Structure 1
Amino acid sequence: MATPSATASAYGARDHARAQEGGEVEAMPTVPASDWPTPPVGVAAEDVVWAETVAGGGYTHKVLARGTELRLTDVTGDACAHLLLHAAGRPWERLNVADTVKVLWNAYLGEGHLLLSDQGRVLASVVEDTSGRHDALTGTSTLVRNTARYGDGTPQSASPAGRELFKLAALKNGLTPRDLPPSVSFFQGVRIADDGTTRFTGSAGPGTTVTLRAEQDVTVLVANVPHPLDPRPEYTCGPLQVLAYRARPTAPVDALWNATPEARRAFLNTVDHLTARGLA
């Protein structure tokens, strides 16, 4: 750390700032993303478009092209990736958790699940999952809850709430709090017990991954914060690895397209919309 005298002038501050170039910390984006040292098997380095490690209590965001695959990795077993999706440039079409659950007759996210908008269209599909511990029912943490539980929930605190971080990510994409619907979360699961109560199942352990495929151009918002039902008294959240790379959207010949009548209709709705706009 520089001494106060070293940065007392504009020149000193400039020299100190420039000396940081090339330095790395544990959680930061890799720019350009193609410099990420370990792309997924079969993915060329030049096809990696987003590479970042998000610290616990951090957030990130990116606009991804249709067909891009997004791989999330729970590095230590303590990440919880709360996720929102918006159709890029059309924020009124966004993730609808209720339709994601009810249209597909399944409350538990996993491989083969589709993340739907309220237009009956697919925003993203889950193409791989080694965790199985996810949640489409509870949503993320709030300022009031975190303040009551940890003493603070503001974005700059040691225990930021997911909703507050989503507000920041939204702002950087021209969105407002009214554009933030309930979110889904990955890597910290819940199940509904026979008596109707929500049971927290926690993590499947370190190194598990979830891969999503963008079926439209989408704005992705991610808040990596503890699950609201996590019983641990301390604010506990580990790093989340985020990688995105060029691939292709789901096609009619793919098993996922025809997995269920509901899936087939959702994909048809999506392609019909994109075709009318000259995008498919």
Structure 2
Amino acid sequence: MTETTHAEAGTATTTAARAHARSQAGTVVDCMPQLPPPAGTLWSETVAAGGYTHLVLPAGAHVALTDRDGDACAHLLLFVTDRPWERLNPADTVKVQWNAYLRLGSQLLSDQGRVLATLVADTSGRHDALAGASTAARNRARYGDGAAHGPSPAGRELLLLAAAKQGLAPRDLPAPVSFFRGVTVAADGSLLPTGSAGSGAEVVLRLEQRTTLLLANTAHPLDPRPAWHCTPLRVTVTPGAVTAPGDPHWDTTPERHRAHLNTAALGAR
């Protein structure tokens, strides 16, 4: 028998296919969830370059995103679980806080004026709330392919897959915010990419409501390099508490204070 025939014979019957599948138990690869999660965590996963994840997380959870090798780009969407019509609004996020740039202490705001998450740690400083995610058409034009399972997947295509697994439709998806690939606004209003902060950079988001999180790890739409680039992203979720009165983040500005009051008034805590 040829080598190919031997491989085919290994899964040629249902019994053989089952035995082959079960033999893979315990196999560890570079990009995968850790099951069970390590002690003290709710979830731990390495998202491949060109991959995505989707999680339903409790209020107060701390989501640590780590640019492991220096070329990740985390395109993030947040929805209030069981109330998905309330979702991340990047325009309100920058407008209400009078700042086009995400930084330590920034809130990710919903379209209802409530806080979805607070940025409580940041060693990157290279983020974007303005450009959104790449599209299949844009990636086809730039790289020759933009399909979710192709060699240069577009951010929106990956987020659509993540959304579908949470019962969300294309019409439910706003533009995401992106972490680890920064942009600045030039005097003429154009967006200028600033690249990454390098390997090991990390941000931590404290979730202020019970949250459905969608994340795509793929090249930023304004990446100036002619070829598609992306590296794995680590996601680690630990339990915690929401921001409360007396926390330094509660009163940093009048606008942020009001957003926390709006959230607390809903009973989201």
> Which TM-score applies when normalising by structure 1?
0.93
Amino acid at match of 1:221: L
Instruction: Quote the offset at 1:27 in angstroms.
Output: 0.4
Aligned equivalent of 1:229, options 222, 233, 245: 222
Work out the CA distance in 1 between the residues paired with 2:107 and 2:171: 24
Aligned equivalent of 1:12, options 9, 16, 28: 16
Work out the CA distance in 1 between the residues paired with 2:7 and 2:219: 36
Partner deviation per Cα, 1:167-191 (whole Å, 9 max, x = no partner): 1100000100000001100000000
Q: Does residue 128 of structure 1 match 2:128?
A: no
Q: Which runs of 4+ in 1 moved over 6 A?
A: none
**How many pairs are equivalent?**
265
Instruction: Quote the offset at 1:33 in angstroms.
Output: 1.2
Instruction: Quote the offset at 1:195 in angstroms.
Output: 2.7
Instruction: Quote the offset at 1:110 in angstroms.
Output: 1.1
Name the counterpart of 2:71: 78
Matches for 1:184-199 after TM superposition, within 5 Å: 184-199=177-192
SS of 1:153's equivalent?
A: coil
Partner deviation per Cα, 1:98-155 (whole Å, 9 max, x = no partner): 1000000011001100000011100001000000000000000001001111111111
Q: Does residue 31 of structure 1 match 2:16?
A: no
Instruction: Quote the offset at 1:197 in angstroms.
Output: 1.7
Work out the CA distance in 1 between the residues paired with 2:58 and 2:75: 20
Instruction: Quote the offset at 1:193 in angstroms.
Output: 1.5
Work out the CA distance in 1 between the residues paired with 2:28 and 2:133: 30
Matches for 1:48-67 after TM superposition, within 5 Å: 48-67=41-60
Work out the CA distance in 2 between the residues paired with 1:156 and 1:115: 29
Q: Does residue 240 of structure 1 match 2:244?
A: no
Unaligned runs of 5+ in 2: none
Name the counterpart of 1:167: 160
Instruction: Quote the offset at 1:18 in angstroms.
Output: 0.4
Name the counterpart of 1:176: 169
Work out the CA distance in 2 between the residues paired with 1:110 and 1:159: 29
Q: Does residue 253 of structure 1 match 2:246?
A: yes
Work out the CA distance in 2 between the residues paired with 1:68 and 1:235: 33
Name the counterpart of 2:104: 111
Instruction: Quote the offset at 1:196 in angstroms.
Output: 2.0
Partner deviation per Cα, 1:189-241 (whole Å, 9 max, x = no partner): 00011232211000011000000000000000000000001011111000000
Amino acid at match of 1:9: T
Name the counterpart of 1:37: none
> Which TM-score applies when normalising by structure 2?
0.97
Unaligned runs of 5+ in 1: 35-44
> What percentage of aligned pairs have identical amino acids?
58
Name the counterpart of 2:62: 69
Aligned equivalent of 2:255, options 240, 256, 262: 262
Work out the CA distance in 1 between the residues paired with 2:162 and 2:107: 23
Aligned equivalent of 1:99, options 81, 92, 102: 92
Name the counterpart of 1:89: 82
SS of 1:70's equivalent?
A: strand
Amino acid at match of 1:13: A
SS of 2:266's equivalent?
A: helix
